[in-house]
Chains A and B, each alone.
Chain A
Amino acid sequence: MSFKKHWQLYLIVIPPVLFFLIFKYYPMLNAVLAFKDYNVIKGIWGSPWVGFKNFQLFFDNPMFWTLAKNTILVSGYLLLAGFPIPILLALMLNEISNGRFKRLVQLVTFAPYFISTVVMVSIIMLFLAPRLGFANVALNYFGFDSVNFLGEASMFRSIYVWSDIWQTAGYSAVIYLAALSGIDPTLYEAAKVDGASRFQKIVHVDLPGILPTITIILILNVGSVMAIGFEKIYLLQNQLNIVNSEIIATYVYKIGLLNANYSFATAVGLFNSLINLVLLFTVNGLAKRITKSSIW
């Protein structure tokens, strides 16, 4: 296609491309802050280079291990518990022949996805409030003592993970349902003729049928392990659960924007992004070798 004839198309692309250059690529350039000692007056490029000093500071920081541990534990927990549940939900829904019940379950489980993070955290706080919260009113009703759920550091991960599953399982199941509906019906007939039970049919037809989809979603999930729901964790944090709830991303926000320690926070953020990228490439490579499906 000649530029002359289709100049309009090339013109149209300019604003969105500028958007990506300015708000996505320019910040990547700005990430050199991590290797500098930022000085407001001299600006990003005028500030002196300090090599890996900021990274060294982070690794030597006693917070380092706590942050790394918390980040990995929360997202590992979410991956282990949250990854299989949408698959199970889709497999179960797929067995249901009653269209109305199936639609109702889908409609209802999909809905919480549209609740905002702030509202979600508000709901969690209202339900788990120490005195008036529903969970404690119910506990007291059955003769148990009240629990300060959000004040117990040990409960933080479970609260985060299970509320997340409550909110997103129905949404995530849609992809698997689509994959299930794409399975060749003759396979089911063959299984039935061979006398397979419903459970055997799931294991031998359904699961192998959606394995490529499962692999791709798994890769994407592992690839975002370090980018775990920062907004929700930040809102759920309080002085009592902070030992388990401070993750790398919340730390970057506090050190960087609240304490204006730009260079150090950029180094921490960059470290986080790099780990993420490495994880993504590793898992993708493994998946390519083992199951022959990968995202690129």
Chain B
Amino acid sequence: MTVLLAASPLSQPFFQHAFLAGTAIAAASGLVGYFLVLRAQVFTGDALSHVAFTGAMAALAFGADLRLGLFAATIAMALLFGTLGRRARPDDVVIGSVFSWILGLGAFFITLYTTSHSTTNGTAGVSVLFGSVFGISSAGAVVAALVAAGVGLLVVVIARPLLFATLDEAVAAARGVPVRLLGYGFLALAGISAAEATQAVGSLLLLGLLAAPAGAAIRLTDRPYRALALAAALAVLEMWAGLFASYAVPSMPPSFAIMAVATAVYAATFLIRRPVPGPRTRTATAVPAGT
């Protein structure tokens, strides 16, 4: 029965919008997420995604468009993180301190918004935190898809030097690769894709979209480009599966369904034995206890 139900949703406009935006967002998140995982910057991605919440709330509190706040906050934060860290790779403690304050600020703006604006949109806070992919308008979906496609394209364009800079920073720098610039550029892209993905799965959950497909792809293959493509493909498939599952079971929020599928796929990769040990990142060696 669920199969029959799941076959029809593509005729529904709201589902088409979610499908269009979701597909592009998932692909961009998969690509960006792969590099976040490879560069050991998952925590940065986490902070960026949470900061998106504050940006959105601030925009709402000042009566601006929610998306404006999303993009401004995440890009500004990404560049700030770039400046704070050595070679555009900030320290965990610094990230933690800055982003917990920004989140606190988000709590302030959400109260400001819900108390000042006669609560016409009282659940805005919750939908920013947890996403409302089925609520995307057709214009919003097109914009989201275009931006996400742009992000994905840029990641593919810089993939080669970025990979070099990630796997062997010192050698890449010596060969004339602009390591620092790439670090900044990548963080900015991560910021944009965080703002994008927030609209679909919410600022608290998008980390799963960044980390799970990438983690699964890295477990499945050791070839960097294959893993990059696989991460994007997995993210898109997980997004589709989540959307259809949530349509079939209406009491299940779409963001939960997407996360559940992504987690299940990642968990499944642990059942498959890895053939050879994967590429090692340089950053991991500097950390004695790990995170």
A, B assembled together: no
Q: Which residues of A contact B (CB under 8 A)?
A: none
Q: Which residues of B contact A (CB under 8 A)?
A: none
